[in-house]
Structure 1
Amino acid sequence: MALISMRQLLDHAAEHGYGVPAFNVNNLEQVQAIMQAADKTDSPVIMQASAGARKYAGEPFLRHLIEAAIESYPHIPIVMHQDHGASPSVCVQSIRSGFSSVMMDGSLKEDGKTPASYEYNVEVTRHVTRIAHAVGVSVEGELGCLGSLESGKAGEEDGHGAEGQLSHDQLLTDPDQAADFVAKTGVDALAIAIGTSHGAYKFSRKPTGDILAIQRIREINSKIPNTHLVMHGSSSVPQEWLQVIRENGGKLRETYGVPVEEILEGIKHGVRKINIDTDIRLAMTGAIRRHFNKDPAEFDPRKYLKEAMLAAREICVARYEAFGCAGKASSIKVLPLETMAKRYAA
């Protein structure tokens, strides 16, 4: 079994200079796409479950899908990560359920909508880190609010996202505060705010430095060079899949995502985990729409869901190769969580 802590995987990524795409999963076909792509490219895997995914599929179903992947691909290191935990109790439940990594998102209050104070964020994140590290589980924190530097608004996803107008300061992580946060909480990884947001509608134009602050990554990395940085809302929103959707009856307005070349620049400066969800959604939606347009009489879900899975697999292969993951899985010797717990305690 190759369940791995996120800390061990990201340490390996830092040592060898690559980043790891963290794919959100909701159903069987997404898990299959990710694992087939990882197997093809010899890449380690981070699969993560959001609150919305857990509500949609049911936590036991989702957990067992990931555990089935671990059983089916014992040669692939897999992180089972809980995305955007709104409270310590959510994180503790995930730890008890067998997740090897949790995110305590204290940037917002427990309602997932109200921006929290810095002091609150430190308190809840430190509390979760203490509990998680005792059993070898990794912790990701967040500092700053995800949202658009164009509009000053957060992109809501699965009911999670700050409400109201956000200031420029809220939308950009402060490097000095990041150093203080890591020192006080002991997190393994830190999600930073640089102008990215959840969902398909990230940028109304191709992003430039005024709306996507890649330079801020360099500044943060210079303050905390030994902390793994995380980019949320980092789907690239492939224009070719937007076109497929539109050509087959979809009505998506003009939108742009985070260019892969900008993510690669982030990887050079300490970004080790890159969250991706929308790209898979777009590819699967486009494939299903195209399938029904070609064969309106189709009614066997195994056929059109296979097309969706294959489209998602292409996205995953491309990201594994672009971020430098390919060929790395077989070089990782997975440590049990019990060993990680001893390391944290030492």
Structure 2
Amino acid sequence: MPRTILLSGSALALALTGQAFAQQRAAFPSEPPSHAEAGQCYSRVHHDAQYNTIRETVVVADGYESYEIWVNGRRVDSHVVEPVLDTRSQQYVSREAAMRYRVTEPVYETVTERVQVQPAYSRYEIEPARHETVSERVLVREARLVWRRGYVEGARSYRHDPETGEVWCLIEEPAEYRTITRSIVAEPAQVREVPVEARYQTIEREVLRHPATVEEVPIPAQYASYEYRTVLHPAEVRARYVEERTDVLERYELVAPERYEWQRVECAEIDFSRHGQEGYQSSSAPASGGHGYEGRPVAALSGGGQDATLHPGAPQRWRPAREN
């Protein structure tokens, strides 16, 4: 609930003759209303500053792409992609069949051939992504001007309230910041293809150039074998995207500054008997970050030269003279 100060219309009319509230700022209570009439009562009401809470989503870790190695339908934990090779054996004729004659022997010629024992293929090397951690300073509350009770050195403005006898200082509260840390991708992951050349083997075999004559004696063929490798399952690299991670940051935005205004109230609701000249007790001003001033009722002036009682904080020149 806001705290208030209550004044009668007659006391307000007398207060207009003084200069106690000159040179005040807009945020401090304004001058009493000039249109007040005798018998009217007003309340000086303090309204707190209003803020909106703004929720912002910030990225604390960037999304990135990761690569996985799969061989024969299974995931392999390695940075080098190798295919699955199958080793096979190939039979060839090392010496052809012929006919040997008892008189003339057959004539053979040795030939050399180059055969492939491993085909060309490619393997892949993966360089993982490199991350860096960075810090950022985010403004969560802007600097603001507030009134504080008592003398504060270096204040922008000073205010003496003649009603309470207190001194108020306008000081600046510094802005509030928050430091956030997030991880960023400095270098993305890379896949490098490394070609592997085919492998060959040299073999020798004998071929018939001049068969035997006269008596034919069959010579059976001779066989040999060599090993070669084929790609049974090629290497496979699958990409997987890792989603970015976010967090919610709250900050406050000023919508309406603190202010004071005069509001008219019913004088019948004010107990003037508790605020006499001798028994009056001054009310406390708000603490740091408070909501206003305590109510301080005063009696309205009667007409025709009768006595009128003001609260003890009013200047002497505001008090009406007593008739002899």
Q: Is the structural similarity TM-score above 0.5?
A: no
Greater RCO structure (CA 8 Å; 6+ sep): 2
Q: What is the TM-score normalised by the length of structure 2?
A: 0.16
Between Structure 1 and Structure 2, the one with more strand by share is 2
Radius of gyration: which is bigger? 2
Q: What is the TM-score normalised by the length of structure 1?
A: 0.15
